[in-house]
Amino acid sequence: MIRNVQLIFPEGLHRRLLEHLFPGDRNEHGCVLAAGLASTSFGSRLLVREVWPAREPLDYRLGNEGYMGLQASFIHRCITRCRDERLVYLAVHNHGGSGYVAFSAVDMKSHERGYGALLDIAEGMPVGALVVADGAMEIDLWHPNGTRAALREARVLGSSIERYYPSKDVRAAAEAGSPSEEYARQTLFLGTAGQTFFKNAKVGVIGLGGIGSLLCEYLSRLGVGHLVLIDPDRVEPSNFSRVVGARVADLDRASGESTLKVDIAERLAHEAQPHATVEKIADDFSRISSARRVIDCDFAFLAADTMRARLVFNAIVHQYYVPGIQLGSKVVIDPATGSISLAYSVVRDVRPGEGCLLCNQLIDPGRLAEEWKTNAEREDQQYGLHSPNPSVITLNAVAAAHAANDFLFAFAGIRKEQKALYRRFNHLNQSTHFEHPRRDVACSECSNASESRLGYGDNRQLPCVT
């Protein structure tokens, strides 16, 4: 079996799974996971949406061959619900030991007896099994085409990104890296494994203006090996002072067109890291062709401040389990006095099921409707006549630095806990405001409601235009 399956848990669901499997009695327990499916360049991502505990002894008890097993009635309820909701069925049980786990011969025989029939019921969706031990996981995933796959890596998305593997050998292969003089000081801090995680990471940056260009610089110098850069705009005299890496020649083009921001960002990235892979998309992020370039990223930053970009970014975080950060800065001038009434930078962590921009009223319906209009419609209705907001590079740098640090500590698995998901840095009074974002239990984006997009991967449409 090829190891090309990545399993991703929101932190709360992973905690619930462990509490059920390891209640302290050292016995074997079982459950079923329902997971969305996302196809990637390396294989399959399974996005855990629900944990269905098996009650004992009604749903999980000793079988005829002397081992614990899920009962047929429970299996049938779970597999039919997965089929109806187009989710992947994963039967789960636990083993003892630590740092290593594998299916037993009895486990594999039970898969071979039953999973062909489950595939028929699933009607085109994969089915499989997950075995869990202390600090280790393994998968046996059966695809409708008859192939089988094993676990490449499991991730738990929380304050830190935790990683699980079937064995120490698989973990060692994932963490192996060659010493590099360029990152010697970072490796003293992160370890070889942490630096390898950055080298193998694929990170999206949406918006390459004042904040996004800073992020591109920081991520490149951290050693992120693959950047996806999205911005349709060109550098202009009005933003030249804030776009990091912009040169005077970028404004003075013989063709009459200034340089695209993604071209400046690519140049910046390669100056810092010549061998990095850079994907440039000089198009609107709200187009499906652009948005889909982010769905297999390991992390994403939203540095564009349109409501359309917020809507699509928020959907990708919750639907495809791509953790991200929305960030920005703002200066507000009192129109009556001309004095500065507000000057702040914001950093908002958005994770699957947490920090939803829609729940927290950060996607303005009026502005969103305005942005979806054509240019002609906006002119007819006198939209788009807003005055530009003041902006300065130092405020952008505060947001970009804190966001890059959040990524650094989370992705390397260093941060133990986080005070709050949302932070606002108020520069006039030198204060920091911490906010715990709210969550609507019926939200269409981040909730467990059946209509929500949470964890559905390829089986939901993103809110994009073609």
Whether 31 and 107 map to the same domain: the answer is yes
Whether 157 and 187 map to the same domain: the answer is no
Which of residues 149, 175, 201 is at a domain's end? 175
Q: Output the pLDDT for position 64.
A: 66
User: How many whole angstroms separate alpha carbon 52 and alpha carbon 76?
Assistant: 13
Whether 155 and 99 map to the same domain: the answer is yes
Whether 241 and 387 map to the same domain: the answer is yes
The enclosing H or E element of 198 equals helix 184-199
Domain assignment present for residue 447? The answer is no
User: How many whole angstroms separate alpha carbon 40 and alpha carbon 25?
Assistant: 39
Tokens of 334: 């009192």
Whether 365 and 346 map to the same domain: the answer is yes
Q: Rg of the chain over CA atoms, in angstroms?
A: 24
Which of residues 150, 175, 200 is at a domain's end? 175
Tokens of 196: 């390898």
Which of residues 160, 175, 190 is at a domain's end? 175
Higher pLDDT, 406 or 416: 406
pLDDT band, very low/low/confident/very high, at 65 (cuts 50, 70, 90): low
Packing angle, helices 365-372 and 307-320, rounded to 10: 100
State how beta strands 148-157 and 226-230 pair: unpaired
Whether 211 and 163 map to the same domain: the answer is no
Tokens 């930053």, residue located: 301
The enclosing H or E element of 191 equals helix 184-199
pLDDT band, very low/low/confident/very high, at 159 (cuts 50, 70, 90): very high
Whether 289 and 153 map to the same domain: the answer is no
Whether 214 and 121 map to the same domain: the answer is no
Tokens of 102: 């594998």
User: How many whole angstroms separate alpha carbon 443 and alpha carbon 447?
Assistant: 5
283-300 pLDDT tens trace? 999 999 999 999 999 999
The CATH number of the domain holding residue 365 is 3.40.50.720
89-109 pLDDT tens trace? 999 999 999 999 999 999 999
Domain assignment present for residue 442? The answer is no
Whether 243 and 117 map to the same domain: the answer is no
Whether 253 and 110 map to the same domain: the answer is no
Domain assignment present for residue 445? The answer is no
Distances from the Cα of 223 to the Cαs of 124, 166, 197, 202, in angstroms?
A: 40, 27, 9, 11
* Helix runs in 205-327, H state only: 210-222, 261-272, 288-291, 307-320
Task: Look at residues 67, 50, 54 and name the one whose alpha carbon lies nearest to residue 20.
Answer: 54
118 and 127 Cβ atoms separated by less than 8 Å: yes
Domain assignment present for residue 463? The answer is no
377-410 pLDDT tens trace? 545 544 444 567 788 899 999 999 999 999 999 9
Whether 14 and 152 map to the same domain: the answer is yes
State how beta strands 299-302 and 324-333 pair: parallel
State how beta strands 136-142 and 148-157 pair: antiparallel
Contacts of 408 (CB under 8 A, 6+ apart): 222, 414
The CATH number of the domain holding residue 171 is 3.40.140
235-265 pLDDT tens trace? 999 999 999 999 999 997 666 789 999 999 9
Domain assignment present for residue 250? The answer is yes
Domain assignment present for residue 412? The answer is yes
Whether 332 and 200 map to the same domain: the answer is yes
Which residue segment(s) compose the domain that 298 sits in?
181-435
Domain assignment present for residue 131? The answer is yes
Domain assignment present for residue 202? The answer is yes
Distances from the Cα of 405 to the Cαs of 50, 397, 421, in angstroms?
A: 31, 12, 13
Would you give the DSSP letter of residue 233? Answer: -
pTM of the model: 0.94
% of the chain at pLDDT higher than 90: 85
Q: Count structural domains, the chain.
A: 2
- Using the predicted structure, report yes or no on whether residue 166 has a pLDDT greater than 70: yes
User: How many whole angstroms separate alpha carbon 245 and alpha carbon 216?
Assistant: 10
